[in-house]
Each structure stands twice: as C-alpha cells, then as structure tokens.
Amino acid sequence: MIPKYLTSVKKVDNEEKMAGLALFTDDIQVEGAYFAVTLRSEKAHAKILDIKVPTLPKDYYFISAKDIPGENVCNIIVDDWPVFADKETNYIGESIGLVVGPDKEKCLDLLNEFEVTYEELEPVFEMKDSYVHKEFTKGNVDLFKSSAKVFSESFETGYQEQAYLEPQGMLVYFDKDDGRLTVKASMQCPFYIHKAIMRVLNWPEEKIKVIQPAVGGAFGGKEHYPSLMGAQLATAINKIHHPIKMIFDRKEDVPFTTKRHPSKTDISAYLDDKNNLIGLKIHVNIDGGAYIGCSMVVLSRALIAATNTYTFENVEIIGDAYHTNKVPSAAFRGFGSPQSIFAMELFINHLADYLGVDRFVFKNKYHVKTGDVTSTSGIFRDEIVLDKIIEKAKKMSDFDRKFKEYSKPNSNRGIGISTFLHGCGFTGSGESTIINAQLKIKKDKNDIVTFYTSQVDFGQGNRTTLKRIVVDTLGIPEDHVIYDAPDTSKTLSTGPTAASRTIIIVGGLAAKAAQHLKDIWVSGKEQEIVEPYVGPSYIKWDEDKMQGDAYPGYAWGANVVEVSFDPVTYQVKVEHTWSVYDVGHAIDERIVIGQADGGLAQALGWSYLEKEEAVDGRFMQKKFSDYIVPTSMDLPEMETALIDNPFKYGAFGAKGAGELTFVGGAPAFALAFEQAIKKPVHKIPLTPELIMELVKDED
C-alpha cells in the first residue's frame, strides 16, 4: 500500500542528495591536500618499546604522541583514550601514529616499512575486569531473601557495526580568510571535535572551527570516533601546516572504529510459595573495550531501561562495564537500552511460561501506567497509551489468530510482539547541568531570520523539521528563514546530535526562541535572541545514586515480527513486520516513519544477520562482504502506524523518535523465532550456525 503523508513537507536536502550535488567529506576538493594513513597496533595489549621510523622522503611526515603540544587525551567523557598510543597499546588497531604526505600510495608503502617493537602483556578478552559499576534498588529488595523459588535466565547480545554507508573521513586546513584551523568531517557532534582539538593542541576555542558537510549516516558511530580523528589530524596540521585529508576505506572502518557494546544480562525473578512475584534482580554486563569512552552513560541507559515497559514493586538493578583489550565500544542507536530490553522482553515471557500463565495476561498485569514509579523511583508522567498501542499492533498483524495457529507443532513459523520505551534526551539532569544548550536566532533588516544549532542531519531529517518548527512558530514564508548545517564559529552549542534529543530538546528550544523573537518582532530592525535551555522543573536526578526522574519524557512502541524457519538450512526469513509508535505528535509523519522502518531494519539485522566476532581481540568480519547487513531482499514489507499523543513539554507535542525504533526489533524477532522452533532463545544474533546448535537435540 502506498502511503500518503499529509503532514509532511519537502525535505530541505532532498534535491541535493538525489541529484548527487550534496558534498560529502571526500567530495570536497582541497587543492594539494596531503593524505594521512594510520599506523595501527598489531597487539591487543603490549608495551611499545620502540617505533622504528623508515627514512621519510621530503614532504612526508610521521606524526605521533611526541608531536602533541597539549594533552595526549581524546576527551570523550572520561579521559582515558589517548590520541596516539605511546608507551602502551590496549587493542589491535589502536592508532600509534599517522603517515602524512602528498601521495597516498607512497604513504601506504611507508607504513609497511615501520617496525614497532612490543613487549606483550597479558590481554583480557572476557568480561571480568569491571571499570564502571553501578547499582540501585527500588522498593524493598530484602524481601528477596524470603522467596520460595527463584527463576533465573541469562541473555547475550553481540557486537554491532553501525555500517553507515559513508565511511569515516575528515579534512583539515587553515581557512585563508579567518586563519582558523578548519575541520570538515563525517560527524555527529561538531563541538565534541572542537573540544578534542582544543585539548590536544592546547588552543583557545576561537582558533578552531568545525563545519559539517553532508553526512552519509552515523547511527552513533560518528559521535565519538571523529573526535579521535580530529585530535590526530589537528596534531598533524599543527606540525606541517598543510591541508590533510583522511578517508577510511571500509576495510579500515569496520575493524577499527567503535561498535555497539556486546552484553550479557542476568535476570532473576523471586517468587513466593504461591508463585507471586516478589521482585526482580537484573544484572547488566557490557563489554566496553579498551577505553571507557562513553560506556558509563551507555550502562546508565541500559540500567534505567532494564525494567522496560513494566512496573515491578521491588527491583535490584546492577550494572558493570568491563575493560577488555578490544576496540572500544561506544554509541549506537539505542545506547545500551536495546541490550537490556532484549533481555527483559524475553524474560517476562519465559517467566509467564514458567509460571504456567498466559503471557499476555501476565505482561498486562505489570504494564506501566501513568503515575507509576520508574525503576529509579521517578514518575512516569506522560499520558501512557500502551494498551492502545498493543491493541493496534495486534489488529494490524492479525496477531491472535496467527499466534494460535503457529503454536502448533512443526509450524516452522512464528509471530512475536514486543513493547518498549525510550527515554528522550540526556539521562537525568544532563540537559541542564552538562549540555546547557543555547540557541541563537536573529533577524536582519529585511526580516530574514537566521538561526543556528549544532545539530547534524545525517539523514534523520532534522534540518527539515527544526526549520519547520521555526517557520511555523514565526508564521513567515519558508524562504524567509535560513538554517544551515552547523559551523562552530557561527553557532552556540545546542548539544550533540544524540540521545533522541534533537526534536524534544533542541526543537523545543527553537520553538521557544522563535516565539520570543515573534513577541518582540519589529519589522525592518535587526534583532537577536539567545535562548538558553531550561529543563522542566520536575526533573530531579542523582547520578551517583541513580535516583529520580531519568528523562523528561518517554516514547513508546510495539513491534510485531513474523518469521518462517527452514529446518534444513536453519535459516530464518522475516516475513512481515507491523509497528505502532507513540512519539507524541509526529511533526512530519514521513520523516518519523522513515526513522521507524530504518531503526527496525537495523534491529532485525542485529537479531539474525549481523555477526561481528572478536577472536583474540581481532574482529573476524572486516568488510561488507563479511559483515552482513540486510539487503532489500532480506527485509520484508513493513507496516507502520503512529498514535497521536501530543507531549506537553516537546516542540509541537513531539517526543524523540530516532532510537525508539531500534529498541523493540530484536525481542519481537526472537519471540517470533521461539515460536517457530518451539524453544526459548537467549542469545542474538541468531545465525544459522547458532540455530543449528539450538535445535540439535531434536535431530
């Protein structure tokens, strides 16, 4: 069925992207730019005793930690990731230095001539050395001691590669007009790069500018890694004063840039002698890799989301992020919550089976209702319409009939439904204490309005929607508003493009700023407003204790996935999906549905196709021919519906939509698959090789 998008407007970047006019980083021509290639560690954990640099011809340079004028630290959240490995290396592929010069081939030839002497140290590949630990409780967990029975399960999820279509790339040069060190890169967060460069060069803010060109997908994968590249290239250009371009080949991007955290989640249900549920203990473990990076925040989100769409009276939640000698794990759509929600969605169904009660009746008993206390003892304040969402998803998919039919033996077919939520914006009071977004909007004498944000549109359509918020608030023609891609020399920081915060937080800020401008509007006069973010007063959050209201609002959804299974080849086929989301009021339905289908597609890939395996710290799947993302023939027809439920505190009633759409795909898939094979699932990706093991004892 061809959809009709009545609420949508023309995407501002459509034409340039379709016509091939949009300039992505590698499309930008800078006369005579040098190339940079990376010398990478061959060892998972070792002391670097010596780097034997080959004789470098004229105009060729080796850039390493020695060339850093400031600190050898790539600031992410914790200062543990060095810009260049110096005395020690902690993962295979870690950058030791750059070879920079006019001819790329020569740079690569030189790279082969380096000899690095290592003293190998014991590497750690398993999750055993916790470097971030968190725990909190709700209700009375002492009651667990009085339980008569405990039902426990453990769930595992794997690495996932973002697989944005445009690989990582960056260009640095000194702008002839203002003399600033200028960075153009495939990125998510211009100010993160800006700050990383200030730190490594020990430079003031105004000597640097970061400008966003067209970005070919990111999904979290360009939230932090470009900061590392920026710090490295800044070090290089500071030394050689010549423009430099560094574009990764896919075979460099896949094995050496950040991934989704693999996880292992243990859940125990404590039951009394009448099988009443006393409470749950949930322990989420994530593999953070060699450096903490943002793992503590990923862990926080995983823990806060761990009870998913259910309210339990008594809960103990524990989390650990582990140091291992592997590529650091970092941001990826969902940011920890897909891992813990996968575990909880399967667990609650398995628990119902264990108790011998109807799954849907059991889940419904615990479904979150408005006013319920969250796992962190905050309050669910939004109007929650979970029952409507479920009802609609079931109706669209003819769920009840199919569920009954596929329950029969040897059906080799299954249908599964998941419910899920996603907290929008930075965790807790982060928006008002860490981010402190400020948005500048100004009007010239001709009443042309210009506004700035640091939000990157890497495909989500926020350039279109943010502009629309301002246009509609001011009530002026679209071509009277100018809104360009971020440039850190022009915009104040409105924060990173992450955490599903762009529309709910920055959109809200833009609407407020535009309204204030409208309030003081004097035609023919230059006017300017700087609007600071003010969080809702109800948000109180204690990060140390993990107590309080974790998010200003939550978006909700249900996914239904239908699969078939071939018992001869152990392959699964996704037959159809149906999804229903409550993202508040969808300002632009086409854009939201685009997010919805794309998020679910990635989640399905994570569920059964996308395997990334590290053996002795080295990724086995290094290219697009080994790392298997879904093609158009692997994905089914997707039907998606939205429930309009305007959110009081969001711009035009909108909540976040970007990450929500990833969160429920894996559990819905796994539940469908369980029905097809009549066995419980505890691990993804469900590759045919794993499935063979699962069904083995039946043969």
Partner 1 sequence: MIKYFVPKSLKEATEILSQNDCYILAGGTDLMVQKHRSASLLPTFEKDVLFTNEIKELDYIKVDKEGVHVGSVTKYEKMLKSAQIPDIFRKTIEQIASPGIRNMATMAGNIGNASPAGDTLVPLNVFDAYLVLSSTRGERKVLVSDYIIGVRKTIREKDEIIKEIVIPNLDLEFDYEKVGSRKAESISKVSFLGAYKLEGNIIKDFRVAFGSVSIKVVRDKEVEKKYIGLTKEEFINRKEEIVSDYSKLISPITDHRSTKEYRQKVACNLLSRFIDNIK
Partner 2 sequence: MKINFVLNHKPIELDVNPTRRLLDVLREDLHLTGTKEGCGEGECGACTVLVDDKPYNSCLTPVLNVQDKEVLTIEGFREMKEYRIIADAFADMGGSQCGFCTPGMILVSYALLKNNPHPTDEEIRFALSGNICRCTGYQAIVNAVKVASEKGVKL
Positions in the binding site for partner 1 (CB under 8 A): 26, 104-105, 108, 247, 249, 568-571, 573, 609, 613, 620-621, 625-626, 628, 630-634, 688-689, 692
In the set 136, 219, 291, 541, which binds partner 2 (CB under 8 A)? 219
In degrees and rounded to multiples of 5, residue 50 shows phi and psi of -160, 140
Q: How far is the CB of 1 from partner 2 (least distance, A)?
A: 9
473 binds, among partner 2, partner 1, none (CB under 5 to 8 A by kind): none
Question: Which of 458, 652 has the CB closer to partner 2?
Answer: 458
Q: How far is the CB of 433 from partner 2 (least distance, A)?
A: 32
Question: Which of 391, 589 has the CB closer to partner 2?
Answer: 589
Please list, in sequence order, all residues whose beta carbon lies within 8 angstroms of the beta carbon of residue 218, skipping any fewer than 6 positions away.
162, 164, 186, 187, 188, 456, 458, 459, 497
CB atoms within 10 A of CB 563: 31
C-alpha radius of gyration, the chain, whole number = 25
Taking contact as CB under 8 A, which single stretch among the options 9-17, 74-82, 124-132, 562-570 is the one that binds partner 2? 9-17
The single residue listed with the structure tokens 């042309």 is 448
Taking contact as CB under 8 A, which single stretch among the options 59-67, 164-172, 398-406, 673-681 is the one that binds partner 2? 164-172
Q: How far is the CB of 218 from partner 1 (least distance, A)?
A: 20
Stretch (H or E) spanning 565: strand 553-566
The Cα–Cα gap between 70 and 107 comes to 26
Q: How far is the CB of 286 from partner 2 (least distance, A)?
A: 23
Do 142 and 218 meet the contact criterion of CB atoms below 8 Å apart?
no
In the set 458, 541, 556, 619, which binds partner 2 (CB under 8 A)? 458
**CA angle, residues 547, 223, 300, in degrees to nearest 5:** 15
Is residue 571 a contact point for partner 2 (CB under 8 A)? Answer: no
Is residue 6 a contact point for partner 2 (CB under 8 A)? Answer: no
Helix (H, G, I), strand (E, B) or coil at 640: strand
Question: Which of 366, 624 has the CB closer to partner 2?
Answer: 624
Q: How far is the CB of 393 from partner 2 (least distance, A)?
A: 17
Is residue 35 a contact point for partner 2 (CB under 8 A)? Answer: no
Question: Which of 514, 601 has the CB closer to partner 2?
Answer: 601
Taking contact as CB under 8 A, which single stretch among the options 216-224, 373-381, 434-442, 447-455 is the one that binds partner 2? 216-224
Is residue 357 a contact point for partner 2 (CB under 8 A)? Answer: no
Across the beta sheet with 449-452, what order do the strands follow? 481-482, 449-452, 438-443, 527-532
Is residue 631 a contact point for partner 2 (CB under 8 A)? Answer: yes
Do 171 and 244 meet the contact criterion of CB atoms below 8 Å apart?
yes
Is residue 638 a contact point for partner 2 (CB under 8 A)? Answer: yes
600 binds, among partner 2, partner 1, none (CB under 5 to 8 A by kind): partner 2
Question: Which of 275, 571 has the CB closer to partner 1?
Answer: 571
Q: How far is the CB of 305 from partner 2 (least distance, A)?
A: 23
444 binds, among partner 2, partner 1, none (CB under 5 to 8 A by kind): none
Question: Which of 247, 277 has the CB closer to partner 2?
Answer: 247
Question: Which of 14, 130 has the CB closer to partner 2?
Answer: 14
Beta strands in 567-663 (DSSP E): 571-582, 614-615, 618-619, 637-642
In the set 94, 166, 431, 543, which binds partner 2 (CB under 8 A)? 166
Q: How many residues bind partner 2 (CB under 8 A)?
A: 60
Q: Alpha carbon of 257 to those of 59, 114, 394, 535, 559: distances in Å?
A: 28, 22, 39, 34, 30
Helix (H, G, I), strand (E, B) or coil at 525: coil
CA 128 from centre of chain:
25
Do 150 and 269 meet the contact criterion of CB atoms below 8 Å apart?
yes
Question: Helices 399-406 and 386-397 meet at what angle, rounded to 10?
Answer: 60
Do 107 and 273 meet the contact criterion of CB atoms below 8 Å apart?
no
Question: Which of 391, 613 has the CB closer to partner 1?
Answer: 613
Q: How far is the CB of 327 from partner 1 (least distance, A)?
A: 16
In the set 38, 602, 607, 621, which binds partner 2 (CB under 8 A)? 602
The two most distant CA atoms of the chain are separated, in Å, by 81
The Cα–Cα gap between 508 and 56 comes to 54
Bridge-based pairing state of the strands 149-157 and 129-138:
unpaired
Is residue 20 a contact point for partner 2 (CB under 8 A)? Answer: yes
Is residue 460 a contact point for partner 2 (CB under 8 A)? Answer: yes
165 binds, among partner 2, partner 1, none (CB under 5 to 8 A by kind): partner 2
Quote the DSSP letter at residue 461: -
105 binds, among partner 1, partner 2, none (CB under 5 to 8 A by kind): partner 1
Is residue 251 a contact point for partner 2 (CB under 8 A)? Answer: yes
The burial of 477, by beta-carbon neighbours within 10 Å (0-12 exposed, 13-18 middle, 19 or more buried), is given as: exposed
594 binds, among partner 2, partner 1, none (CB under 5 to 8 A by kind): partner 2
- The residues in 379-418 that bind partner 2, with binding defined as CB under 8 A, are none
568 binds, among partner 2, partner 1, none (CB under 5 to 8 A by kind): partner 1
Whether residue 685 has a cis bond before it, omega within 30° of 0: yes
Helix (H, G, I), strand (E, B) or coil at 545: coil
Q: How far is the CB of 306 from partner 2 (least distance, A)?
A: 27
Taking contact as CB under 8 A, which single stretch among the options 300-308, 606-614, 625-633, 651-659 is the one that binds partner 2? 625-633
Helix (H, G, I), strand (E, B) or coil at 479: helix
Is residue 164 a contact point for partner 2 (CB under 8 A)? Answer: yes
The Cα–Cα gap between 83 and 80 comes to 10
Question: Which of 249, 387 has the CB closer to partner 2?
Answer: 249
Question: Which of 232, 621 has the CB closer to partner 1?
Answer: 621
Is residue 14 a contact point for partner 2 (CB under 8 A)? Answer: yes
13 binds, among partner 2, partner 1, none (CB under 5 to 8 A by kind): partner 2
403 binds, among partner 1, partner 2, none (CB under 5 to 8 A by kind): none
Is residue 32 a contact point for partner 2 (CB under 8 A)? Answer: no
CB atoms within 10 A of CB 15: 11
Q: Alpha carbon of 237 to those of 66, 67, 243, 332, 679: distances in Å?
A: 14, 10, 7, 30, 58
- 655: its two tokens: 């909540």
| The three-state (H, E, C) secondary structure of 289-324, written as one string | ECCCCCHHHHHHHHHHCCCCCECCCCEEEEEEEEEC
Question: Which of 18, 379 has the CB closer to partner 2?
Answer: 18
Total residues belonging to the chain: 699
Residues that bind partner 2 (CB under 8 A): 2-3, 5, 8, 10-11, 13-24, 26-27, 29, 162-167, 214-219, 249-251, 458-461, 590-591, 593-594, 597-602, 623-625, 629, 631-633, 635, 637-638
